[in-house]
């Protein structure tokens, strides 16, 4: 990413602000513009480097809203937060919504479809010259669970992300503005998510900044399930989220996207005070030159 966003003290913390009635963790809480702006400012004060504003839920099975509804949710919030000096990304798969959000004051595009959902997105990112987060994605939320079929999830995600990079660069996007994200929970089951969490080094080795976004996701809820297999409720997954955030920081990710920025900032402060120890990736132990990631 450009000089504006590359920092010594990685990872950057991206605070989640969903202006939606139905997102899996904070849906409905910030549907009102003033409440959303207030929460965005609180996220910044709590330690968010970027507030990620989204107007369409991407939880599994979610129905889509139209572009006007999505833009109508996010633009007033982005304008209000820009006036308050908050740095923001726009979480959208639509070029028109991204363009409106950039005009209103967002400075980063967070596209969970990695440019696949809207062919016009590359042009918006290229024209704006802004950072563009390309997440690994195979289809919209309504049908993504049926697309969770991989030969080797780590290698397939890596290869499909590289295809997205090629297409973005072919569309005029500066490769130095691209961030990649494995897309935890998007067309992935719990085993897929754990394999990607374990092998962040494979994505980091691509040389692009990596965003890690495990916050409160279902695979953590399943890990912490009750004896009757009921997943841990969404708002009781914070300690597990913090553990993943520190592990991702130690693996060398560029950014971490979370709901609770204050707790994340605290956990990262402990990691830094301990000398920011790195995870030993075992890279040298991987078999020969194939570099094949084991699941
Ligand atoms: N996950 C959600 C939404 N946006 N953006 C990126 N880059 N990566 C993600 O994994 C991701 C995302 C899922 O919903 P949430 O906003 O409720 O966490």
Please give the pLDDT value at position 291.
36
- pLDDT value at residue 46: 97
Going by pLDDT thresholds of 50, 70 and 90, the confidence category of residue 57 is: confident
Quote the domain boundaries for residue 170.
13-273
CATH number at residue 28: 3.20.20.20
Q: Is residue 3 part of a domain?
A: no
Assess if residue 292 is contained within a domain. Answer: no
Alpha helices in the chain (DSSP H): 33-46, 67-83, 95-104, 121-128, 153-170, 190-198, 200-204, 218-223, 238-251, 261-273
Closest residue (by CA) to atom 18 of ligand 1? 215
- 171-175, 188-192, 230-234, 283-287: range with lowest mean pLDDT: 283-287
Residue 1 domain flag? no
Torsion of CA 101, 131, 93, 77, to 10 degrees: -30
19-53 exposure pattern, b = at least 16 Cβ within 10 A, e = fewer: bbeebbbbbebbbebeebbebbbebbebbbbbbbb
pTM: 0.92
Q: Is residue 231 situated within a structural domain?
A: yes
The answer to whether residue 57 is domain-embedded is yes
Evaluate whether residue 41 is within a structural domain: yes
pLDDT tops 80 at residue 292: no
In three-state secondary structure terms, 144 is helix
Domain count, the chain: 1
Least Cα distance to 251 among 288, 289, 214 occurs for: 214
**Mean pLDDT score, 159-188:** 97
| Tens of pLDDT, residues 241-290 | 999 999 999 999 999 999 999 999 999 999 999 999 998 765 543 333 33
- Site to probe by mutation for ligand 1, drawn from 91, 111, 131 as the one with most ligand atoms within 8 Å of Cβ, is 91
Closest CA to 102 of 27, 177, 204: 177
Point out which residues pair with 12 in neighbouring strands: 255
Instruction: Give ligand 1 pocket residues (Cβ under 6 A).
Output: 16, 18, 23-25, 54, 58, 91, 110, 112, 133, 135, 181, 183-184, 211, 213, 215, 257
Contact between 179 and 97 under an 8 Å Cβ cutoff? The reply is: no
The backbone region for 28, taken as left when phi is positive above 0, alpha when psi lies in -120 to 50, beta otherwise, is left
CB distance 254 to 179 below 8 Å: yes
Mean pLDDT of the chain: 91
Q: Please indicate, yes or no, if residue 127 is contained in any of the structural domains.
A: yes
Tell me whether residue 139 is in a domain: yes
């Amino acid at each position: 990413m450009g000089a504006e966003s590359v920092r010594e003290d990685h990872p950057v913390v991206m605070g989640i602000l969903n202006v939606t009635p139905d997102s899996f963790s904070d849906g409905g809480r910030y549907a009102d513009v003033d409440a959303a702006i207030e929460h965005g400012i609180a996220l910044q004060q709590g330690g968010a480097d970027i507030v990620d504003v989204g107007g369409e839920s991407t939880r599994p099975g979610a129905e889509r809203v139209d572009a006007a509804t999505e833009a109508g949710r996010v633009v007033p919030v982005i304008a209000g937060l820009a006036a308050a000096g908050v740095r923001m990304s726009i979480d959208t798969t639509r070029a028109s919504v991204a363009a409106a959000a950039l005009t209103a004051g967002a400075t980063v595009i967070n596209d969970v479809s990695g440019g696949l959902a809207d062919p016009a997105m590359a042009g918006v990112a290229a024209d704006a010259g802004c950072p563009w987060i390309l997440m690994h994605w195979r289809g919209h939320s309504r049908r993504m669970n049926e697309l969770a079929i991989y030969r080797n999830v780590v290698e397939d995600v890596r290869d499909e992300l590289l295809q997205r990079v090629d297409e973005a660069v072919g569309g005029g996007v500066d490769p130095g503005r691209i961030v990649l994200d494995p897309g935890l929970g998007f067309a992935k089951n719990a085993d897929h998510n754990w394999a990607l969490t374990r092998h962040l080094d494979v994505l980091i080795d691509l040389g692009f900044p990596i965003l890690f976004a495990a916050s409160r996701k279902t695979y953590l809820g399943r890990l912490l399930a009750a004896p009757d297999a009921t997943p841990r409720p969404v708002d009781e997954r914070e300690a597990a989220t913090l553990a993943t955030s520190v592990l991702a920081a130690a693996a060398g990710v560029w950014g971490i996207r979370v709901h609770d920025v204050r707790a994340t900032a605290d956990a990262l402060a402990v990691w830094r005070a301990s000398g920011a120890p790195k995870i030993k990736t075992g890279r040298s132990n991987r078999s020969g030159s194939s570099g094949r990631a084991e699941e």
